[in-house]
Amino acid sequence: MSRFLPTEFVDSIFEIDLEKLKSMGKKGFLFDIDNTLATYAMAVPDEKTKEWIKKLQELGFGVYLISNNNERRVKPFAESINAGYIAKALKPRIKPIRQACANMGISVDEAVLVGDQLFTDIWGGSRIGMHTILVKPISEVEHGFVRFKRRFEKLIMKRLNKKG
Ligand SMILES: [Mg+2]
């Protein structure tokens, strides 16, 4: 069972501790795209995500995209952040994961795999002993935020009504 489990679990990519991973000897990231770096509706990452990936590259980390989505989706996304990519990776197959590491010139031990799904993204990496990080799917985080906003709105309306 533990081989299904991620090494770490965070709310979003922005909570990934880059300094810690660097000190652990990690040299490159393999990212899932959909719901990990962007929603399905976004053709390229938003500015905040682009900035974060740039920072990661400036810190010396390799960045590689590994997606089960097709070339048409993955290529422009990868180009927008100067990253290599493998489309139609058929995760949790291990072959594309190893291939991505080889293309970055790093070993599996030096790589970190980041994704939003346990049985596709994480399982593939975990079963070959890779450091894996599960993030909450972006769409769900957005929905969570909408729910939070609604609750907040309700609370305010209640207060206003009391005053009135
Ligand atoms: Mg995904």
Mean per-residue pLDDT over the chain, rounded: 90
Tell me the residue length of the chain: 164
Domain map of the chain by residue range? 2-138
Average pLDDT over residues 19-27: 97
Superfamily for the 2-138 domain: HAD superfamily/HAD-like (3.40.50.1000)
4: which residues sit within 8 A by CB, 6+ positions away? Answer: 118, 119, 122, 123, 126
Tell me the pLDDT tens digit for each residue of 32-81: 999 999 998 899 999 999 999 999 999 999 999 999 999 999 999 999 99
Residues with CB under 5 A from ligand 1 (ion): 32, 34-35, 116
How many angstroms separate the alpha carbon of residue 128 from the centre of ligand 1? Answer: 20
Task: Output the CA 158–ligand 1 centroid distance in Å.
Answer: 38
- The CA 116 to ligand 1 mean position distance, Å, reads 5
